[in-house]
C-alpha cells in the first residue's frame, strides 16, 4: 500500500518541522509495510511576495488527487496575517469541506504544566472545532474608510449541516471516551447563531442518552481550562472559540510545540489536512530549535486517518516515551537546549 501525501511546509519554522517529521513517517511506514510518497508544494508567503498569491489558482485541483495533506505553518512578519491565512490555510479547509477539526491537548508524562499541581496524565482534552464557517465565514465588509461613520461588518454563519456534523462527531468521541461533553458557546450574548448551536446540541444529545452534556460560555470555559483542566474531556465549539481554546489547551499542557491537529472532511470526498497548532514562529526561524513533536503527532493523526492505526500508535507512543525520558533531548520550549534535528533523530532511534 502506498499513500500519496501533499506536503506544504509553508512559512517560518514550517519547513524545519515538516522536514524533521517526514523521515519518521517514512520509518514507521516501512516498519508497518506501507509507503509514503510525497509531493512538496512550496506555497506560502515567499510565493505571495514574488507572485502575489500564496498558492496557484488551481491549487485545490492540484491537491485534490492526494490522499492527505501535511502542512507546516503559515504567517510572515511582512504580510498581514489575514492575507496569509485567507490565501492558503482557510481556502484548503473550506474548499475541501474539512469541517471537523480535532485537536488533542494532552499533558504527557515528563512534561511540566505551568499550572500548579498538574503532572503527566492529569490533562487529556479533545477539542472538536467547527472548521469551515462560524466566525471564519469571511462575510462582511468595510464602508466609509477613514470617515467618522466608518463601519466594518463581519458575519458569523452556522449551518445545520456543519453544526450537526461537528456536534455529532463530538458526541461519538464522548461515547468512546468518558461520556462527558462540554459544549462551549456565547449564547447569552449571541442570541441567533449560538442559541441555534445550543439547540442542535440538544437535538443531537437525544441520540446519545449516555453522554452527559455540560454547557459553558466561552469566557467561563477559558477560565476553567486554566483553573480545572482535568474536568474537561471532549469539548465542542465554533471555529473562533476552538482556535482560542486550543491555544489555551496547548499552553496548559506544556507547549504549543506539542499540539497537533487534524482537519477532516467527514465525507472523505477530498483529502484531509494535518498540521501543528502552532504558527510560523519567525522569532526562532533558522535557529534549528523548533519543536518538531507537534508535527510528528499530526503525522500520527494523518496515518491513523489513512487507516494505519498500528503505525500511528507506534509514532504517538515513541513521542510519549521520549517525553517521559528525563535523559532525552528537548527543545527550548520544553526547557531543554537541544535542536530540532537531535529530537527527531532520538525519536528515530526509539522507532
Ligand atoms: N500550523 C498552521 C498555522 O500556521 N496556523 C496559524 C494560525 O494562525 N492558524 C489559525 C487557525 O488555525 O485558525
CA distance 161 to 97: 11
Q: Is 103 in contact with 246 (CB distance < 8 Å)?
A: yes
Scan for cell 511540566, then name that residue.
112
Q: How many domains are contained in the chain?
A: 2
CB 279 near ligand 1, within 6 Å: yes
313 pLDDT band, cuts 50/70/90, is very high
CA atoms within 13 A on the CB side of 15: 14
Q: Are 350 and 238 in the same domain? A: no
25 pLDDT band, cuts 50/70/90, is very high
Find the mean pLDDT for residues 173-194: 97
Nearest CA among 13, 10, 11, 75 for reference residue 286: 13
Alpha carbon nearest to ligand 1 atom 6, residue: 279
pLDDT of residue 319: 98
Alpha carbon nearest to ligand 1 atom 1, residue: 73
CB 73 near ligand 1, within 6 Å: yes
Output the CA angle 16-19-21, nearest 5 degrees: 105
How much distance in Å is there from the Cα of 206 to the middle of ligand 1? 34
How much distance in Å is there from the Cα of 234 to the middle of ligand 1? 21
pLDDT of residue 45: 97
120 pLDDT band, cuts 50/70/90, is very high
ipTM surpasses 0.90? yes
**CATH code, 146:** 3.40.718.10
CA distance 318 to 296: 10
User: What pLDDT digit, counting tens, does each position of 288-307 carry?
Assistant: 999 999 999 999 999 999 99
Q: Are 92 and 129 in the same domain? A: no
CB 104 near ligand 1, within 6 Å: no
31 pLDDT band, cuts 50/70/90, is very high
Residue 327 falls inside a structural domain: yes
CB 275 near ligand 1, within 6 Å: yes
Residue 244: give the domain boundaries: 124-252
Q: Are 172 and 217 in the same domain? A: yes
Residue 92 falls inside a structural domain: yes
Average model confidence (pLDDT) across the chain: 97
How much distance in Å is there from the Cα of 271 to the middle of ligand 1? 18
pLDDT of residue 230: 97
pLDDT of residue 333: 97
CB 243 near ligand 1, within 6 Å: yes
Residue 295 falls inside a structural domain: yes
Give me the percent of the chain exceeding a pLDDT of 90: 100
pLDDT of residue 67: 98
The last residue of a domain, from among 227, 252, 277: 252
pLDDT of residue 326: 96
The last residue of a domain, from among 252, 287, 312: 252
How much distance in Å is there from the Cα of 243 to the middle of ligand 1? 8
User: What pLDDT digit, counting tens, does each position of 336-345 carry?
Assistant: 999 999 999 9
pLDDT of residue 212: 98
118 pLDDT band, cuts 50/70/90, is very high
Residue 306 falls inside a structural domain: yes
Find the mean pLDDT for residues 115-132: 97
User: What pLDDT digit, counting tens, does each position of 227-272 carry?
Assistant: 999 999 999 999 999 999 999 999 999 999 999 999 999 999 999 9
> How far from the centroid of its chain's Cα atoms is residue 103's Cα?
5
Amino acid at each position: 500500500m502506498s499513500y500519496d501525501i501533499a506536503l506544504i511546509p509553508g512559512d517560518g519554522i514550517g519547513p524545519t518541522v515538516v522536514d524533521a517529521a517526514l523521515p519518521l513517517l517514512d520509518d514507521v511506514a516501512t516498519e508497518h509495510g506501507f509507503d509514503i510518497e510525497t509531493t512538496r508544494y512550496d506555497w506560502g508567503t515567499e510565493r505571495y511576495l514574488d507572485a502575489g498569491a500564496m498558492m496557484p489558482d488551481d491549487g485545490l485541483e492540484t491537491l485534490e488527487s492526494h490522499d492527505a495533506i501535511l502542512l507546516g505553518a503559515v504567517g510572515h512578519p511582512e504580510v498581514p496575517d489575514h492575507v496569509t491565512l485567507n490565501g492558503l490555510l482557510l481556502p484548503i479547509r473550506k474548499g475541501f469541506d474539512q469541517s471537523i477539526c480535532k485537536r488533542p491537548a494532552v499533558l504527557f508524562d515528563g512534561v511540566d504544566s505551568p499550572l500548579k499541581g498538574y503532572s503527566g496524565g492529569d490533562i487529556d482534552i479533545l477539542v472538536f472545532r467547527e472548521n469551515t464557517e462560524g466566525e471564519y465565514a469571511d462575510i462582511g465588509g468595510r464602508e466609509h474608510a477613514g470617515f467618522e461613520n466608518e463601519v466594518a461588518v463581519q458575519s458569523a454563519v452556522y449551518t445545520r449541516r456543519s453544526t450537526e456534523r461537528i456536534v455529532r462527531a463530538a458526541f461519538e468521541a464522548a461515547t468512546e471516551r468518558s461520556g462527558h461533553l462540554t459544549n462551549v458557546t456565547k449564547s447569552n450574548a449571541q442570541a441567533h447563531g449560538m442559541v441555534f448551536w445550543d439547540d442542535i446540541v440538544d437535538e443531537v444529545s437525544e441520540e446519545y442518552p449516555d453522554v452527559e452534556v455540560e454547557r459553558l460560555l466561552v469566557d467561563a470555559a477559558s477560565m476553567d481550562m486554566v483553573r480545572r483542566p482535568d474536568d474537561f474531556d471532549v469539548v465542542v465549539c465554533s471555529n473562533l472559540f476552538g482556535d482560542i481554546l486550543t491555544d489555551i489547551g496547548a499552553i496548559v499542557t506544556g507547549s504549543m510545540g506539542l499540539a497537533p491537529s487534524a482537519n477532516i472532511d467527514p465525507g472523505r470526498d477530498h483529502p484531509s489536512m494535518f498540521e501543528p497548532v502552532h504558527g510560523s514562529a519567525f522569532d526562532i526561524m533558522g535557529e534549528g530549535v523548533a519543536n518538531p513533536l507537534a508535527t510528528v503527532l499530526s503525522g500520527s493523526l494523518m496515518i491513523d486517518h489513512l487507516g494505519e492505526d498500528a503505525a500511528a500508535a507506534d509514532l504517538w507512543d515513541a513521542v510519549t516515551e521520549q517525553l517521559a525520558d528525563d535523559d532525552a533531548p528537548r527543545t527550548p520550549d520544553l526547557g531543554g537546549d537541544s535542536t530540532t534535528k537531535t529530537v527527531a533523530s532520538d525519536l528515530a532511534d526509539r522507532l
